[in-house]
Amino acid sequence: MEVSSSPLHRTLEVFAVLQWVFSFLGLALLCLMALVLASLGRAWTLVVLYLAWLCRDRHTPRMGGRRSAWVRNWAVWKYFRDYFPVKLVKTAALDPSQNYLFGFHPHGVLVVGAFSNFCTEATGFSRLFPGLKPHLLMLPCWFQVPLFRDYIMTSGLVSSDKASASYLLSHPEGGQVAVLAVGGPLEALEAKPGTVSLRLRNQKGFIKLSLEHGAWLVPVFSFGENELFRQYPNPPGSWVRRVQEGLQRMLSVALPLFHGRLGLLIPFRVPIHTVVGAPIPVQRSPRPSREQVDQLHKLYVERLTELFEEHKTLYGVPADQHLVLT
């Protein structure tokens, strides 16, 4: 993939990244404000009609969402990809007759690699994995925001609650991919340059879900994800971390204090290589035992570690650096 170095192309890359960061951090609030202002004016009838439709449509984020091939192929996502750049690396073929649960690591501050690779076609997911339809799981609270929820669903984002994932993984014809940032919001607080700390040791809910539906597990590691932003120092036990963890418990979202280029919210230009590992076949077990969950979790950790070790020196990680699991 050749990336143009012309001033115009690089300017468009910055614009593409800025609009995405704004969408991620500010669009939800803007949508709420727009709806309130519209309800106070002559458009109030439209607001009432929209809210009535919203009530009827409330289950859509848990039933596969409402993706748009047109939105996923917007030209802006190619400029977004080229800014870093982002590359999707395939290591094994995936049978489209199966359903898959992709475990994405690390979470990073803003899960840039997961969005670029699985919510757009900029890196060629459908070309690399024909017959598969990816859905990135996102915290349910975001799908409570009117207008914003409709926009994010067009890229393939769906609610991350169990009912939503189960809906995808239970498709009898297969071809569905649920992508989960396993470390969750708290792992975002550990997303710092030079670190590979993963919240995985006690994360077993996704393993149980995989067993319940017989969905094959696929470890995914996104090299460069933690290099995109700098965070204000927040070591475990510090007052900053305690406040962040308290807010996470109340709001369900992490609030890392971060910055990028020039002290702003523009991420650093660091290559991202998202490596999709080989699938782990899973036999369906509607009521898996703790032993089954523990065994599959152990195998998953081993496969993820192997994936990291095999590719780390190719993508800028020192040979003596290893995964840290918490």
Can you name the residues that pair with 325 across neighbouring β-strands? 198
Please tell me the predicted confidence (pLDDT) of residue 5.
Answer: 75
* Structural domain includes residue 37: yes
pLDDT band for position 4 (cuts 50, 70, 90) = low
* Structural domain includes residue 324: no
Angle between helices 75-83 and 7-25 (to 10 degrees): 100
The H-or-E segment that residue 75 falls in is helix 75-83
Q: Can you spell out the DSSP letters for 219-255?
A: EEEEETGGGS-EE----TTSHHHHHHHHHHHHHSS--
Across 10-47, b (16+ Cβ under 10 Å) vs e yields bebbeebbeebbebbeebbeebeeebeebeeeeeeeeb
First to last CA, the chain: 36
* Structural domain includes residue 226: yes
* Structural domain includes residue 114: yes
* Structural domain includes residue 110: yes
Tell me how far apart the alpha carbons of residues 62 and 256 are, in angstroms, rounded to a whole number. Answer: 27
What would the pLDDT profile of 229-259 be if each residue is shown by its tens digit?
A: 999 999 999 999 999 999 888 888 888 999 9
What would the pLDDT profile of 58-78 be if each residue is shown by its tens digit?
A: 999 999 999 999 999 999 999
With H, G, I as helix, E, B as strand and everything else as coil, classify residue 198: strand
pLDDT band for position 100 (cuts 50, 70, 90) = very high
Tell me how far apart the alpha carbons of residues 139 and 155 are, in angstroms, rounded to a whole number. Answer: 15
Residues 6+ apart with CB under 8 A from 62: 158, 159, 161, 163, 164, 167
Residue of 113, 81, 97, 88 lying closest to 17 (CA atoms): 81
Residue of 22, 218, 8 lying closest to 102 (CA atoms): 218
* Structural domain includes residue 323: no
What would the pLDDT profile of 101-144 be if each residue is shown by its tens digit?
A: 999 999 999 999 999 999 999 999 999 999 999 999 999 999 99
**Total number of domains in the chain:** 1
What would the pLDDT profile of 271-281 be if each residue is shown by its tens digit?
A: 999 999 999 99
Please determine, for residue 208, whether its predicted confidence score (pLDDT) is greater than 90.
yes
Asked if 134 and 40 count as a contact pair (C-beta separation under 8 A), the reply is: no
Tell me how far apart the alpha carbons of residues 184 and 138 are, in angstroms, rounded to a whole number. Answer: 10
* Structural domain includes residue 1: no
* Structural domain includes residue 254: yes
**Sign of the C-alpha dihedral, residues 155, 276, 139, 246?**
negative
What would the pLDDT profile of 136-159 be if each residue is shown by its tens digit?
A: 999 999 999 999 999 999 999 999
Q: Which domain holds residue 227?
A: 7-316
- What number is the average pLDDT over the span 26-50? 95
